[in-house]
Amino acid sequence: MPSYTFALKAQKLLRARGYPTEIRRSDPAPGKSCGYSLYIAGSCRAAAEVLRQYSVPFSGMSGGE
C-alpha cells in the first residue's frame, strides 16, 4: 500500500467483509519505496478485488490465492 491512510482504509474494508488483516511496515524492494503491507488471512485474489472496487491502490500481492 502506498501510505498508511490507504493501508487502514483497506484493512477496514476487508475486516468488514470478514478478512482478518494486519498492517506491517514493508521492506523497500530494490528501486521501490518504503510503504505498508497488508497481511490477509484468506484469499488474496478476492481481497484484491474488493480493494479494486473501492479504488484502493496497491502495488501487488504475494503469497496464497
Binding site for other proteins (CB under 8 A): 2-6, 8-9, 23-25, 28, 31-36, 57
Smallest gap, in angstroms, from Cβ of residue 41 to other proteins? 19
Name the minimum Å distance from CB 22 to other proteins: 10
CA-nearest of 45, 5, 41, 3 to 22 is 41
Tell me the C-alpha distance between 32 and 12, whole Å: 25
* Nearest to other proteins of 45, 52 (CB atom): 52
Residue 10, classed as helix, strand or coil, is: helix
Closest distance of CB 65 from other proteins, Å: 26
